[in-house]
Amino acid sequence: MKAQPHNQERIVRIPGLVGGKPVVRGTRISVRLVLEYLAEEPDIKVLFAAFPRLTLEDVKACLDYAKDLVEEEEISSPEDNKHYHPNL
Segment 12-46, tens digit of pLDDT: 999 988 889 999 999 999 999 999 999 999 999 99
55 is a domain residue: yes
pLDDT at residue 9 tops 50: yes
The single-letter code of the amino acid at 26 is G
More confident residue, 88 or 3: 88
Cβ-Cβ contacts under 8 Å for 59 (sequence gap 6 or more): 34, 38, 44, 47
- pLDDT category at 80 given cuts 50, 70, 90 is low
80 is a domain residue: no
Full domain range(s) for residue 44: 5-73
78 is a domain residue: no
CATH number, residue 38: 1.10.10.10
84 is a domain residue: no
35 is a domain residue: yes
Domain count, the chain: 1
38 is a domain residue: yes
What is the pTM for the complete model shown?
Answer: 0.74
pLDDT one-digit tens code per residue, 43-64 = 999 999 999 999 999 999 999 9
79 is a domain residue: no
59 is a domain residue: yes
How far is the C-alpha of 13 from the C-alpha of 22, rounded, in Å? Answer: 5
